Amino acid sequence: MRALLTVTVLGLALTGCQLGSPDVSDRSSAMRVAASRPGGHWPVVQTRRIDLDGDGSRDVVRLRKRGGEWGSGPVRIEADLGPDRVAVGIVRRPGIDATLLRRGVDPDADGDRELVLWREMAPREITVLDLVGDRIRPVRQPDHSPLASTYTSNRHARAWWPGRHHLFSTRSVRSFGGTSHYVVTPDRYVVRLWRWSLEGRALVAEDLGRGCVRAPAPREPEPC
């Protein structure tokens, strides 16, 4: 039987292809986080309730964007941790589509949650943020990690998703045919799977071997 093929249009179509998008994505060196004081005049575009300090109470987390929902400038993240205590951080160049993962993650399994700021559209960059005192700071992660939901320059398919605690990611074992505008992806293909944990201040990947996934929205691999 002829294998089913899925043709993906890069660029415009990549924004619509839900390659491993979470429930609602390689780390960019342009995404830097700096501390800032709370307040300001940037409108709140998103609010989450996530327990950042591990006290058992979900904290109000606000995402503010300069210029409003589709502003292209920095974003400010604020968290109300208690009376007269606000933690804050700034992401300088997050992309106009940056959004906070609804539940956060707990990759170090210590009871509090880390924030995940990700982009819904290509290149679907992802950054993980941790509470350090009264500042929200990024954890270290590889510059060229598989934590992305897009294709590599040589047309390997990548995807990521959040588990209950850890982050998971896959990368196709082989590259796919196509051009700079189109990638032809089989209906089912072999991937390598990683589980990401937080050790100290760095994300560390554990290789879980190979499995098979199905396009166009690959998630947890199954035996091949």
Phi, then psi, of 13 in degrees rounded to 5: -75, -30
Three-class DSSP category at 15: helix
Residue pLDDT tens, the chain, 224 long:
434 333 333 332 333 333 444 433 333 333 334 344 444 578 899 999 999 999 999 999 999 988 777 767 788 999 999 988 999 998 876 667 788 999 899 999 899 999 998 877 766 778 899 999 999 998 888 776 667 777 787 888 888 899 888 999 999 999 988 776 778 888 899 999 999 999 988 999 999 999 999 887 667 888 88
**SS3 track for 130-192:** EEECCEEEECECCCCCCCCCCECCCCCEEEEEECCCCEEEEEECCCCCECCCEEEEECEEEEE
Residue 18 pLDDT: 36
In angstroms, rounded to a whole number, what is the distance separating the alpha carbons of residues 181 and 217?
A: 19
Residue 180 pLDDT: 62
Residue 124 pLDDT: 73
Q: How many CB atoms lie within 10 A of CB 224?
A: 11
